[in-house]
Amino acid sequence: MSVKLADVSSRVKAETWGQHDLTVHRCHVVTLKKQRRRRRHFSGVKLLPYFYHYITTYTTSIILIICSSPVQTSFWPKQSAPPTTCNRSHVDRAQQVQAQPLHVSLSSLDLPWFGTNASRLRVKDPKRSVQFYEFLGMKVIQKLPNPDANFDLYFLAYDSSKAVSHGNHFTDREGIIELTHNYGTEDDPNYKIANGNQEPHRGFGHVCISVDNLQAACQRIEDAGYKFQKKLTDGRMRHVAFVLDPDGYWVEVIGQKPLEKTENVKETDPTTYRMNHTMIRVKDAEVSLKFYQETMGMQLMRKHEMESAGFNLYFLGYGGPVAENTPEGVSPTADHEGLLELTWNYGTEKDANFKYHDGNAEPQGFGHICISVDDLDAACARFEEKKVNWKKRLTDGRMKEIAFVLDPDGYWIEVVQNEKFKKRANW
Ligand SMILES: *[C@@H]1O[C@H](CO)[C@@H](O)[C@H](O)[C@H]1NC(C)=O
Ligand SMILES: *[C@@H]1O[C@H](CO)[C@@H](O)[C@H](O)[C@H]1NC(C)=O
């Protein structure tokens, strides 16, 4: 039996995930994403010899299970080897590969509480990644192992007694970095993530932490052997450094105090560090600002217009409107660990063909940002009213406790229940 593109689309419409049980014995699972890829694989020729057994959709991706004969490895995403036999757990995994989050969790307006605050990144080797973020003062506050689906999630955040959200549940705090580890990538010499900063796959930019004494903190990181994309002394911006995490993601490091005040300080205390923000690039600032404010309910906390350099930065988050600095000179945003930074490069909005990489198309890297809400059903009903583009409605798929909304650039925004307000997933 051959599969033509037309068959695929009609089956996709007819069948939804979860209504079928699998009873196949020997088969392969192929996850295909996006029209372009699909066309390449489904041009007809390659599939002719295979018996097509089951097809379903998981949001925009397609999971196709092909039985009875070997599948060229070219069908496979680089990071996973085809299983020789297939059962439900493989299908689940294929589904999960599409659905993983880095949390940048944040909170809202129309609804009294939009809460969590996280960014998600795929990592090759969780051991070295966790070690790196622990060195930066973070802690694994929750690990969600999914051995059946061959991946684990690690939620890291600042959690010392000095931290803003010390002791809070992971759905009830800002500034989480969620790492996703797909089993086996650590032993795959060819596995590499896209860090979002290299053409032609630019999109996600970085996460940022703020530290007590910038010079001393950067020295400590350097002494530990970590590499920098930009040291403090490189270039003209002396108050910012970018260290590279083990996968090459950029971590911006900034000071909590003015640079001059910490020049001669030699100590640094990682328990005082904070997650500061997560940066993504957007094509059209006007469209994105409208979306994040009106639809997602965020506030514009501050903006920097860098006209001579041709770009603007916008910092958004949840919580009340912010005043200028308090009399003590403390930034009113100092307690917001989960801000979202949008970078807009002038002119991209005028180019019809211009598009940023969402991190979930190949080559993968950044997963999503995440917000937690007071009432997940109500929040999603409101998003429905606002006519958002869904990646996954609550009712799609098996995971009824998470939804994914697409932002104007196609970045994924995970929406989960803040467990402080209501128990839902019990994770
Ligand atoms: C599914 O297959 C994997 C091996 O690929 C195996 O470890 C697992 O036990 C199987 N699960 C079931 C329910 O048969
Ligand atoms: C994040 O950085 C900004 C700018 O330096 C600062 O005003 C704010 O207090 C920082 N927030 C946190 C949580 O460190």
Among this protein's residues, is 294 annotated catalytic? no
pLDDT of residue 138: 96
174, 178, 337, 414: the active-site residue: 414
Q: State both tokens at 298.
A: 């965020």
CATH architecture label of 101-427: Roll (3.10)
Q: Taking the CB of residue 270, how many other CB atoms lie within 10 A of it?
A: 17
By most ligand atoms within 8 Å of CB, the mutation choice from 138, 261, 333 for ligand 2 is 333
pLDDT of residue 345: 96
Q: Is 125 exposed, middle or buried (0-12, 13-18, 19+ CB in 10 A)?
A: middle
In the reported structure, the alpha carbon of residue 76 is separated from the centroid of ligand 1 by a whole-number distance in angstroms of 19
pLDDT of residue 22: 25
Q: Which pTM does this prediction carry? A: 0.70
Q: What is the largest CA-CA distance in the chain?
A: 74
pLDDT tens for each residue of the chain, 427 residues long? 222 222 333 332 222 222 222 222 223 334 444 333 333 333 222 222 222 333 333 333 334 433 333 333 233 333 343 333 334 444 443 333 222 222 333 222 222 222 333 567 888 899 999 999 999 999 999 998 888 778 888 999 999 988 888 898 888 888 889 888 888 888 988 888 899 999 999 999 999 999 999 999 999 999 999 999 999 999 888 999 999 999 999 999 999 999 999 999 999 999 999 999 999 999 999 999 999 988 888 888 889 999 989 999 999 888 655 555 544 455 656 678 878 999 999 999 999 999 999 998 888 889 889 888 878 888 898 899 899 999 999 998 778 889 999 999 999 999 988 887 778 877 7
Phi, psi of 20, rounded to the nearest 5 degrees: -130, 145
Atom of ligand 1 nearest to the CA of 85: 5
User: Nearest bound ligand to CA 149?
Assistant: 1
Atom of ligand 1 nearest to the CA of 87: 1
73: left (phi over 0), alpha (psi -120 to 50) or beta: alpha
Q: Nearest residue CA, atom 12 of ligand 1?
A: 87
pLDDT of residue 331: 61
Give the domain ranges of the chain. Answer: 5-99, 101-427
Cβ of 210 less than 6 Å from ligand 2: yes
**Nearest partner of 138 among 114, 170, 186, judged by Cα:** 170
Which H helix or E strand runs over 300? strand 299-306
Q: State how far the alpha carbon of 355 is from the alpha carbons of 202, 203, 351, in Å.
A: 9, 9, 9
Q: Nearest residue CA, atom 9 of ligand 2?
A: 334
In 171-285, the DSSP E strands lie at 176-182, 204-211, 228-230, 240-244, 250-255, 274-282
pLDDT of residue 66: 37
> Quick check: 201 and 251 in contact, CB under 8 A?
no
By most ligand atoms within 8 Å of CB, the mutation choice from 27, 87, 146 for ligand 1 is 87
What count of Cα atoms within 13 Å lies in the side-chain half-sphere of residue 336?
28
